[in-house]
Structure 1
Amino acid sequence: MNRVSLFFLLFLISQFSYGQFRIKGKVTDAETGDPIPFAAVLIKGTGTGMNTDFEGFYDLEIKEAADSIQVSYLGYITQVKPISNSPEQTINFQLRPSDFELEAFVFEAGENPAFEIIRQAVERRKDFDKRSLEAYETKNYTKIEIDIDHLSEEFRQRKTVQKVTSVLDSIRQLTNDEGEKILPVFFSETVSRFYFRNNPLLRKEIVEKSKVTGVGITDGSTTSQITGSAFQEYNFYRNWLTILEKEFVSPIADGWKTFYDYDLMDSVLVGQDTCYQLQVYPRREQDLAFSGTIWIKKEDYSLKQVDLTVPNSANLNFIERIKIQQELEPTEKGPLIPKRTRVQIKIGQVTPNTAGLLAKFYTATDSVKLSEPKATKFFNNAVELKPDFGEASEEFWAANRMDPLSSEELAVLQMVDTLKKIPVIRFYSEGLKFFATGFLPVGKIDLGPWTEFGNYNNVEGLRGGFGLRTNYKFSKKWAFQGYLAYGFKDQRFKYSVSAKNILDRKHWTTLELKSTREIDQVGLEMESLEGNSIFLAASRFGTLRRPFISTSQQLNFDREFFKGFLFRTGIRRAQFDPLFDFYFIEKGTGELKSDFQTTEWRASLRYGRDEIILINDNERSSLGPSKWPILELNYARGFDWLGGEIDYQKLSFYLYQRLNMGLFGVSRYELDAGKVFGEVPYPILKNHLGNETLFYTTAAFNTMNFNEFASDQFISLRYRHFFEGFLLNRIPLMRRLKWRAVANANFLMGSVSDQNINNIPAFGPDGTALESFGRLDPTRPYIELGYGIENIFKFFRVDFFHRMTYLDMPEARPFVVKVSAQIIL
């Protein structure tokens, strides 16, 4: 080979190597193992670099040898690693979060250049808000992972924890030596179809396939309804985003200048689009606002992608970090649909000796269709499961995952499956569920509620009992429930038995027969407390006020005709047997009676336009409304036949709404009004609930005494406002305490007709003075005003109430202090 040929060959080899020098890898969070999108990757000493994609990957070809590669991203410690001589190599990075302070930017002349960009983006919000579309549908893939983290050494040394870690030590760790150990307890994947229509605003998700594995998870159908994309919506084109029932202001909200500062960092190419890269900062670090980076397209000022964090300086409890990363893509009509969304919620330790929690949510959207709006009746159920939702092969998941599971996620699945089989884990998870729900699943039945197992009060003395109910494993058509209790002092048995047939699950339709014999209290009837087992148990403890034996049989029918519109009707026969000195003058005979029977037909209409309802086994569960009020209209007719002795009618109206007041916090109000037609004993009237205890409750008038007032026509308004951090965040010495101001205003107007006053004698047959009730002046409202502080040491709340009217009543309390404990974020 001559020199020319040799030179030519070496030239070709050098050129081949020159074009094939390639470095790729993945950038992840060292604490969570999650990918870090949009991070800057730079070959040091050259101008070659790129940003990681949404999954944290990068892939670089370089034209000259270099000795190191650097990765940096705001909020993380920059990391540098050496490059080897290999023509193709993989270098992964695990970045650790850094504590950084928000910088103050000073502009010498003119307006901050970022302001005009934000102003243009805000002005064009309606052009890109997906809610402006008439209708659309998408195919979504959602995965959720929940881990226990902050595994302190003291926590790991506990005997129960050691039993777990000894089993898991044989399984590979989720992060390498640069990461921290986590203990996964839940993992789910869901493929669903999401439907939206405007005017009226309706949403629906049909879960096609779902795979759920988790510690303590026994019913996939219930869990699968909340693991889809319907509960993972983050729309930054709204002024306020609701996260964990808190309202966070968007960086492109109408009042953006009130909440945020901005810095124009660069002009960058994202995919095929040239974008402004802006850094956003809360003006006040305690506000519920985001910090991080947003990318706005130069062409039309639409959002391209966001990487935003709620820092731990915000006025939140237990939350160390909320991080939202999102990529958006335009539809053919212009408005944007999130293509990928990743959310991390990191919950810190409640106490130093406990562990923290890390929740990760990921949603990918595909197959966007701008279709004709579906009929309103299609949206009857907010979440619907296909009959075979739990049956899917591994081939199906491999084909329908928009991104394959990482090696870390595969390890999560293995660890969760292992955890579920550890006896101590099963014991604690079942115990927590038993405490929370009141029932312990044992095959096809549930034992409970535990509140019926034991109690003590002045009437029954020591009370013992036992109950059970069937669950969905027994039948999805029939549900049976009952309990039996015995009071050792009064020597009476109490019981409740019911049988319910579920006629239709799509338009929730049930028929229920129920029989009960129980101790009740005037104004605090057990029927009104159903579903609140802990409060019900507390109301039966200690001294019972105006107790009576209630024996009833009832037949109830429920049907949801369309989304949010529920019709209820039924007939109830009840016997009132007082356990206190009580008499009334019987209409017609003029005789004194102490007991009476009623036969009552009832009908009610309930409408919650955007109330989210889930079918939890054989029960309906409400997650509450998001914007619109809930309305109820109730009617009851008491007959003096079919065993009934009293003829009357009752009509009532109820309205509840949660109001987002933006900067000023959140309000809730309840409007309640009613009227009783006819002459009745006062236990049938509206006995307004007072509160003589030390503890605050939203269900009562907190300065009113028990059984102080009753009415046969009334209207009441209970208003509560939560300022969040609006007031106290602005006081320098108090903002670090993260206290939050609250306010209450309760109003009541009512009256009692003469006929219902005159049927109550002053004395019984033996001359004993009888307890009565106070009357409200129809021209003078009962008013109490309150103010207080919540979030004291993260748990406690103190309220101060002033009784403004009826101060001349016997034993009136003009000022009271109420305390309560709560776990709030």
Structure 2
Amino acid sequence: MYRIYLAADFDFGNHQRMIRTLLFLLSFLFLTEASAQFLVKGKVTDAETGDPIPFASVLLKGTTIGMNTDFEGNYSLSSQSLPDSILVSYIGYLTQSKALANTAEQTLNFQLRPSDFEMEAFVFESGENPAFDIIRKAVDRKKDFDKRSLNAYETKNYTKIEVDIDHVSEEFSQRKSVQKVTSVLDSIKQLTNDEGEKILPVFFSETLSKFYYRNNPELRKEIVEKSKVTGVGITDGSTTSQITGSVFQEYNFYKNWLNILEKDFVSPIADGWKAFYDYDLLDSVLVGQDSCYKLQVYPRREQDLAFSGTIWINKETYALKQVDLTIPKETNLNFVERIKIQQELVPTTAGPLIPSKSRILIKIGQVTPKTAGLLAKFYTSSDSVKLGEPEPTSFFNQAVELKPDFDQATDEFWRQNRQDPLSAEDLAVLQMVDTLKKIPIVRFYSEGLKFFATGYLKHGKIDVGPWPGFFNYNNVEGIRLGMGFRTNADFSKKWLLQGYLAYGFKDERFKYTASATRILDRAHWTTMSLTSQREIDQVGLEIASLEGNSIFLAASRFGTLRRPYITTNHRLNFQRELFKGLLFSADANVSQFDPLFDFYYLDKDTRDYRSRFETTEARFALRYGRDEIIIINDNERVSFGPSKWPIVQVNYARGLRWLGGDLTYDKLSFYLYQRLNMGMLGVSRYELDAGKVFGEVPYPILKNHLGNETLFYTSAAFNTMNFNEFASDQYVSLRYRHFFEGFLLNKIPAIKKLKWRAVANANVLFGSVQDKNISNVPNIDPEGNPLETFGRLDPTKPYVELGYGIENIFKFFRVDFFHRMTYLDSPEAKPFAVKISAQIIL
């Protein structure tokens, strides 16, 4: 309060001075009152996930004062007058308002709930949609801002991943095993969403790394400097740390297609944008220092693999400034209720854009009403961008490299080096995960799940398994029991020892496998291994050729075995990655073939019929995958497959009689595999296989083409061909598979709700056998009994089968129908076959 005292003795001059003083004081009071500031700040988050909502509109109601939240969802508004409420809105969420208190500074946080509201398209009576011209100019300038146009760059990245169990059903929570968990966690602060549902964190990781990119050839590498991983079932952070960094969390909207969870989604600024998207020009806004167009994007067809949401495009340059895009649950995906990608881009000194911050959310729904859902959150922040000369290609040999002390860092180090501090929710998540993974019932189930998925159960420095080899039953062995082991990285990071022993109660034979592998160099993956094996096998169904087809292999080894034999192998193998993507291997292999069926071949030197033979082989192979991503899983090399370029492999084998073998021959083969993105038509995969056998050999040495008499579908076989139906000494085959991803069935109203997807197959085989390899196989044995031989293809007539089918039936099952188009005159030919399979696909 200001008080003004007037003198009683009046003087005109003093009066003038007094008036000026009074006016000055009144002006001061007025200005002081007028310049009073009210500050309102807070954070806007998603009510279901707790994640920040960037770019949301915050407005002091009844004024023009407002702003958009930053990438962390924060806002701060000041005003000289205090309105009665504040309003927060964002597309795809319910608008929310809160009353303001009469205080100079206050904090108001908002949790917005997703809305089912969908914006209707504007109808333009004449002229073109004004958003189209903006998109057209943005597409025309893609090359100016696509980071792939840079020769090379590197960034310093911070990546954070959290996985939670959510949407816990009442039935699920009432299970005794679940109640044992919740009783332990009751003492910890429970994490809930805005609707009061509990969220149960099961995994949390942080990674500090350097990310390197080079063009021509396009290569990526991440060096993990520090990583902290905690989670249920996580016993060794080395493997997990390789897949939780930036190399697996990269999303570039300047590509036409973005691969997310093995599905290809079309970008809103793809070259063919008009065939997939509609757009609305919503506003012209200021983002930072840039004036931007704000556009709403949404798919033309709701079940297409496309995004809906908002993008911001710079008015001056037509570069992407921000994106906030969602893949809604109406999209033809399984289990996925929602995928959300938020990204903030900044220009480099050369012009192309680098994402400075990215946030990805993947929400997996309940598989059944009695289970729970899953929520995965990924956050990546990049800074310290450097442009320069690219590193040599040898630098990129290993896609992800761990520093020796990657898992050794104090809490103080993390506090000082995180690009963004952990929130109170993050700290609560860490505490809950650390407690959860120590609960005995949780450890029991997590170890059981790993055992089922990998086939091995870890017990200290030894892994016991594989469980599919514990029990078999067939007509040769009867009941077969087996047990095996392998050492893990806790035993040694230089040695891998494996063993397996089985016994058949009908044939009364032991079978075994024993191997020792020495890892000589992890950077240029170099190993030397020695293996000795005695096992029962089948002609054309050898274990070595069916690795990776475990279900088909298991089905083929139960029941009646086709042309079984005992094989004894001793193998010395060397392999080395010569440079990025090129793997060289060399083998020396001694093998013995002892048939358990009526088999003879003519030895031209002795003119005798023999039933068994031995081979000594020298083998060499080259395998090249230009953009294949490889990680080192403990003591194994694991491929995540190629993204664009094909996988090529060339094999050569030489049969050596002078080293103890009974046969001299040469075998040469070529293999090519590629995944093709066909845009809106779906995805194709093809395998080209060609080979030739030089020399005179018995037919088990030839290429015995893999048939399929089981009920189960496999892409490795000809599904209307019988086992051992055809063999060739020179051949070329093409197996082509196409997945329409809902392209056809999405247009049928009654079918599209089921989310079924059409698939197609075409398998073609050309093959032949030289006369000398036909004449050495007798039709009768030495005692005059007829012998079963092998079938041959007409060199001028291909074997052709065509197939079509439906996948995603009840989200798990697939049914294929195959028609055999040629070689129908055989009495055992199957002109039509139905195959089923089960798969977990998104």
* Separation (CA, whole Å) in 2 of partners of 1:709 and 1:12: 102
Counterpart secondary structure, 1:418: helix
Counterpart check, 1:787 vs 2:822: no
Q: 1:507 aligns with which of 514, 524, 531?
A: 524
Q: 1:191 aligns with which of 201, 205, 208?
A: 208
Counterpart check, 1:646 vs 2:647: no
CA deviation digits over 1:77-122, x for unaligned, max 9? 1111111122111111111111123412101221111111001000
Pairs within 5 Å for 1:232-311: 232-311=249-328
Equivalence for 2:368: 351
Counterpart secondary structure, 2:49: coil
Q: 2:684 aligns with which of 650, 667, 670?
A: 667
Contact 2:34/2:80 (CA < 8 Å) preserved in 1? Answer: no
Contact 1:17/1:87 (CA < 8 Å) preserved in 2? Answer: no
Counterpart check, 1:69 vs 2:86: yes
Contact 1:329/1:337 (CA < 8 Å) preserved in 2? Answer: yes
Stretches of structure 1 that go unaligned for 5 or more consecutive residues are none
* Separation (CA, whole Å) in 2 of partners of 1:686 and 1:284: 47
Equivalence for 2:422: 405
1:167 deviates by 1.4
1:534 deviates by 4.7
Question: CA RMSD of the aligned region, Å?
Answer: 1.5
Contact 1:671/1:717 (CA < 8 Å) preserved in 2? Answer: yes
Equivalence for 2:221: 204
Contact 2:37/2:81 (CA < 8 Å) preserved in 1? Answer: no
Counterpart check, 1:341 vs 2:342: no
Counterpart check, 1:59 vs 2:60: no
Stretch moving more, 643-652 or 4-13: 4-13
Q: CA 1:387 to 1:341, structure 2 compared with 1: closer, same or farther past 3 Å?
A: same
Q: TM-score scaled by structure 2?
A: 0.96
Counterpart secondary structure, 1:733: helix
Equivalence for 1:682: 699
Counterpart check, 1:121 vs 2:138: yes
* Separation (CA, whole Å) in 2 of partners of 1:115 and 1:391: 52
Number of equivalent positions: 825
* Separation (CA, whole Å) in 2 of partners of 1:12 and 1:529: 89
Q: CA 1:6 to 1:544, structure 2 compared with 1: closer, same or farther past 3 Å?
A: farther
* Separation (CA, whole Å) in 2 of partners of 1:534 and 1:790: 18
1:490 deviates by 0.6
Q: CA 1:86 to 1:443, structure 2 compared with 1: closer, same or farther past 3 Å?
A: same
CA deviation digits over 1:208-232, x for unaligned, max 9? 1111111001111111110000111
* Separation (CA, whole Å) in 2 of partners of 1:186 and 1:212: 8
Q: Which amino acid aligns with 2:370?
A: N
Q: Which amino acid aligns with 2:635?
A: N
Equivalence for 1:24: 41
Equivalence for 1:541: 558
* Separation (CA, whole Å) in 1 of partners of 2:791 and 2:699: 11
Q: 2:713 aligns with which of 686, 692, 696?
A: 696
Pairs within 5 Å for 1:386-785: 386-530=403-547, 532-785=549-802
1:14 deviates by 8.2
CA deviation digits over 1:289-313, x for unaligned, max 9? 1000000000110000000001111
* Separation (CA, whole Å) in 2 of partners of 1:329 and 1:544: 63
Q: Which amino acid aligns with 1:407?
A: A
Q: CA 1:88 to 1:595, structure 2 compared with 1: closer, same or farther past 3 Å?
A: same
Counterpart check, 1:332 vs 2:349: yes
Q: Which amino acid aligns with 2:3?
A: N
Stretch moving more, 134-143 or 173-182: 173-182
Contact 1:671/1:716 (CA < 8 Å) preserved in 2? Answer: yes
Contact 1:137/1:196 (CA < 8 Å) preserved in 2? Answer: yes
1:809 deviates by 1.6
Contact 2:47/2:194 (CA < 8 Å) preserved in 1? Answer: no
CA deviation digits over 1:270-304, x for unaligned, max 9? 00000000000101001011000000000110000
* Separation (CA, whole Å) in 2 of partners of 1:241 and 1:494: 48
* Separation (CA, whole Å) in 2 of partners of 1:344 and 1:544: 49
Q: Which amino acid aligns with 1:365?
A: S
* Separation (CA, whole Å) in 2 of partners of 1:196 and 1:747: 40
Contact 2:164/2:201 (CA < 8 Å) preserved in 1? Answer: yes
* Separation (CA, whole Å) in 1 of partners of 2:136 and 2:625: 36
1:65 deviates by 1.6
* Separation (CA, whole Å) in 2 of partners of 1:2 and 1:706: 108
Equivalence for 1:322: 339
Contact 1:561/1:567 (CA < 8 Å) preserved in 2? Answer: yes
Q: CA 1:178 to 1:452, structure 2 compared with 1: closer, same or farther past 3 Å?
A: closer
Contact 1:69/1:83 (CA < 8 Å) preserved in 2? Answer: yes
Q: 1:157 aligns with which of 174, 197, 211?
A: 174
* Separation (CA, whole Å) in 1 of partners of 2:778 and 2:809: 49
* Separation (CA, whole Å) in 2 of partners of 1:542 and 1:352: 38
CA deviation digits over 1:495-526, x for unaligned, max 9? 00000000000000000000000000000111
Contact 2:541/2:706 (CA < 8 Å) preserved in 1? Answer: yes
Q: Which amino acid aligns with 1:608?
A: G
Q: Which amino acid aligns with 2:106?
A: Q
1:538 deviates by 3.2
1:20 deviates by 3.3
Equivalence for 2:3: 2
1:791 deviates by 1.1
CA deviation digits over 1:302-361, x for unaligned, max 9? 000000001111111111001000000000110000000000011111111111111100
* Separation (CA, whole Å) in 1 of partners of 2:248 and 2:196: 30
Counterpart check, 1:44 vs 2:45: no
Q: CA 1:12 to 1:146, structure 2 compared with 1: closer, same or farther past 3 Å?
A: farther
Contact 2:170/2:370 (CA < 8 Å) preserved in 1? Answer: no
Stretches of structure 2 that go unaligned for 5 or more consecutive residues are 6-20
CA deviation digits over 1:764-810, x for unaligned, max 9? 12222111111000011000111111112211111111111111122
Structure label with greater radius of gyration: 2
Q: Which amino acid aligns with 1:114?
A: A
CA deviation digits over 1:472-507, x for unaligned, max 9? 000011110001110011100000000000000000
* Separation (CA, whole Å) in 2 of partners of 1:475 and 1:128: 47
Equivalence for 1:35: 52
1:424 deviates by 0.6
Stretch moving more, 333-342 or 757-766: 757-766
Contact 2:48/2:194 (CA < 8 Å) preserved in 1? Answer: no
Counterpart secondary structure, 1:182: strand
Equivalence for 2:819: 802
* Separation (CA, whole Å) in 2 of partners of 1:98 and 1:452: 51
CA deviation digits over 1:242-293, x for unaligned, max 9? 0011110000111111111100000000000000000001010010110000
Q: Which amino acid aligns with 1:481?
A: Q
Stretch moving more, 533-542 or 738-747: 533-542
1:10 deviates by 11
Equivalence for 2:397: 380
Q: Which amino acid aligns with 2:104?
A: P
Q: Which amino acid aligns with 1:402?
A: Q
Q: CA 1:472 to 1:753, structure 2 compared with 1: closer, same or farther past 3 Å?
A: same
Counterpart secondary structure, 1:693: coil
* Separation (CA, whole Å) in 1 of partners of 2:32 and 2:197: 43
Q: CA 1:471 to 1:16, structure 2 compared with 1: closer, same or farther past 3 Å?
A: farther
Contact 1:796/1:821 (CA < 8 Å) preserved in 2? Answer: yes
Contact 1:94/1:179 (CA < 8 Å) preserved in 2? Answer: no
* Separation (CA, whole Å) in 1 of partners of 2:113 and 2:763: 50
Stretch moving more, 282-291 or 760-769: 760-769
Counterpart secondary structure, 1:397: helix
